[in-house]
Amino acid sequence: MKIERLELALLTLPLVHFFETSFGRIFEKQFIIVRVDGGGVTGYGECVAEQDPYYSSETNETAWHIIAGFIVPRVVGVEFAHPDDIFPALKAIRGHNMAKAAVEMAAWDLYARQRGEPLSRVLGGTRERIASGVSIGIQDSLDDLVKKVEQELAAGYRRIKIKIKPGWDVRAVEVVRARTGAIPLMVDANAAYSLADAEHLAALDAFDLMMIEQPLDYDDIADHATLQRRLKTPVCLDESIKTVAIAREAIAAGACRIINIKPGRVGGHRESIRLHDLCAARGVPVWHGGMLESGIGRAHNLHLSTLPNFSLPGDVAASRRYYQPDLIEPGIEVQPDGLIRVPDGPGIGIHVATDRLDRATLKRAEFTL
Ligand code: OSB
Ligand code: MG
């Protein structure tokens, strides 16, 4: 497989509804789409970096800089036997996993399309449908939050995650539990707490949550281990799991009982599969996270979620929850039973509406051999 041409486009898309986490509130998403061409076939990837370096240290500008200046010279015009070989070929570039993943994942789509096989099969997936959950941001009021939860349950979603932060945590969970009953419920703190809050976080143990995601700082494995010893609720790590090696240490330290996999955070599909396999071997369940992706990134997530140890519903919801219209046609839909059917056409198996992509594009660059 050879990438003969690589194109970058920086896009902006308005969100259907604002999204608020402990980092702040956003009304639109800016992101990079990577298009690769080879052998008359096209593949797509999406970079999950955001405008601000809050979720991770990467931003769209750093990703653009790293892809254009350092990744392109190592992949464009280079013959690769398999997309597995791309991440190791980028070893000299330290970090910048979101930039690497965007290119690597586009190459997987290209490879699968060249073979005429769905990406799920090429990745080693074993399911045709995946269980879908939703992530609900911080709202203006607890009433708004309950309304949102009820709306998503009615749409069929199998698991509800609510974002928490100091001042919007125990009470929010208590109200949702009281009003919606024994639903599969979890919370995500996006690193908003410290170990000094352990006592306060232990109050969440009363609500039978599936897990608490990333309560403490993004690089604080040791404190998560201390916290997990004090909580009944399983800790799930997101931001902290930047590499497979860190995951191995986190599991050994008892810092988490569940791991959220986002290919952008670990460098693409190959590293996600390695992380998935490590967790399977250690008896740690995983689920697929989300980064407010457009339909292109979402389709990649859908295919990766077909691997067997993705045993918990992920944040891979219908595309229309975030963007209307989205960049793909038809959109990704959740069935009334809360499952999403994985496209079975070649590659990611979706059609990119290039006219919409062009309209949302702020800047573009092209690289050829
Ligand atoms: O922590 O999982 C997170 C969105 C942006 C950045 C970080 C996170 C999220 C979400 C949304 O929770 C998940 C989704 O795409 O539905
Ligand atoms: Mg998270």
Amino acid at position 254, single letter: G
pLDDT band at 353 (very low <50, low <70, confident <90, very high): very high
Average pLDDT over residues 133-157: 96
163 classed as catalytic: yes
Contact between 313 and 131 under an 8 Å Cβ cutoff? The reply is: yes
148 classed as catalytic: no
Taking the centre of ligand 2 as the mean of its atom positions, its distance from the CA of residue 216, in whole angstroms, is: 11
Share of the chain above pLDDT 70, in %: 100
Buried b (16+ CB within 10 A) or exposed e, 337-360: ebbbebbeebbbbbebbeebbeeb
Instruction: Give the per-residue pLDDT at 160.
Output: 98
Contact between 184 and 313 under an 8 Å Cβ cutoff? The reply is: yes
Tokens of 56: 């991770």
- Note the pLDDT tens digit of each residue in 308-335: 999 999 999 999 999 999 999 999 999 9
**Which residue owns the Cα nearest ligand 1 atom 7?**
291
E-state strands within 200-298: 212-213, 235-237, 258-261, 286-288
Contact between 286 and 259 under an 8 Å Cβ cutoff? The reply is: yes
Q: What are phi and psi of 20, to 5 degrees?
A: -120, 130
Nearest to 332 by CA among 290, 321, 128, 13: 321
Contact between 18 and 281 under an 8 Å Cβ cutoff? The reply is: no
Tokens of 119: 């990406």
Contact between 111 and 82 under an 8 Å Cβ cutoff? The reply is: yes
How far, in Å, CA of 48 to CA of 52, rounded?
A: 12
Instruction: Give the per-residue pLDDT at 266.
Output: 98
pLDDT at 368 over 90: yes
3-class SS of residue 253: helix
Average pLDDT over residues 125-140: 96
How far, in Å, CA of 307 to CA of 62, rounded?
A: 31
* Ligand 1 pocket check for 58: Cβ under 6 Å: no
3-class SS of residue 360: coil
Taking the centre of ligand 1 as the mean of its atom positions, its distance from the CA of residue 57, in whole angstroms, is: 16
Nearest to 302 by CA among 150, 118, 135: 118
Nearest to 184 by CA among 161, 201, 168: 161
Nearest to 16 by CA among 29, 6, 4: 29
How far, in Å, CA of 5 to CA of 367, rounded?
A: 6
Say if strands 361-368 and 5-21 run parallel, antiparallel, or are unpaired.
Answer: antiparallel
* Ligand 1 pocket check for 138: Cβ under 6 Å: no
Instruction: Give the per-residue pLDDT at 269.
Output: 99
Taking the centre of ligand 1 as the mean of its atom positions, its distance from the CA of residue 9, in whole angstroms, is: 22
* Ligand 1 pocket check for 133: Cβ under 6 Å: no
Contact between 66 and 59 under an 8 Å Cβ cutoff? The reply is: no
Amino acid at position 257, single letter: R
pLDDT at 158 over 90: no
Nearest to 63 by CA among 19, 17, 98, 22: 98
| Sign of CA pseudo-dihedral 70, 71, 77, 82 | positive
- Note the pLDDT tens digit of each residue in 53-104: 999 999 999 999 999 999 999 999 999 999 999 999 999 999 999 999 999 9
Amino acid at position 297, single letter: G
Taking the centre of ligand 2 as the mean of its atom positions, its distance from the CA of residue 261, in whole angstroms, is: 10
CA–chain centroid gap for 34, Å, is 17
Instruction: Give the per-residue pLDDT at 369.
Output: 83
Buried b (16+ CB within 10 A) or exposed e, 21-40: bbeeebeebbbbbbbbbbee
How far, in Å, CA of 155 to CA of 325, rounded?
A: 19
**Which residue owns the Cα nearest ligand 1 atom 14?**
290
- Note the pLDDT tens digit of each residue in 36-61: 999 999 999 999 999 999 999 999 99
* Ligand 1 pocket check for 55: Cβ under 6 Å: yes
